[in-house]
């Protein structure tokens, strides 16, 4: 994991870490072979650090963990889902600028 502010998510810890979280959560569904995923990885790390204590940020490798991405119908990556109260409240698909990620997050803080 690239940053101590990012939670590595698995099919088994997703419910506890994200759905049961008291904080809004940003989840990055990614894969090692995905170029756009590598492009936004530093942005995700920066958001994890800047929003620490206000937003839980997690990453899930879709090649290693397939149950949760299928459940949320992740069809292309990177897909970023925003959760609040255990529900999806926002979605961003593709590599986008940091400002767009922050704009989407701030709606749910």
Which residues carry out catalysis? 34, 37
Contacts of 109 (CB under 8 A, 6+ apart): 24, 54, 55
- Contact present, 92 and 83 (Cβ < 8 Å): no
Q: In this structure, what token pair is assigned to residue 29?
A: 């569904």
Count how many Cα atoms sit within 13 Å of the Cα of residue 101 in the half-sphere of its side chain: 27
């Amino acid at each position: 994991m690239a940053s101590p502010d990012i939670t590595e998510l698995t099919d088994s810890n997703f419910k506890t870490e994200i759905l049961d979280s008291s904080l809004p959560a940003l989840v990055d569904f990614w894969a090692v072979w995905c170029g756009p995923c590598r492009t936004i990885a530093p942005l995700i790390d920066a958001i994890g650090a800047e929003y620490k204590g206000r937003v839980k940020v997690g990453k899930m490798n879709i090649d290693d963990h397939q149950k949760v991405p299928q459940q949320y119908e992740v069809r292309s990556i990177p897909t970023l889902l925003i959760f609040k109260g255990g529900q999806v409240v926002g979605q961003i698909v593709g590599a986008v600028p940091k400002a767009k990620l922050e704009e989407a997050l701030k709606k749910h803080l």
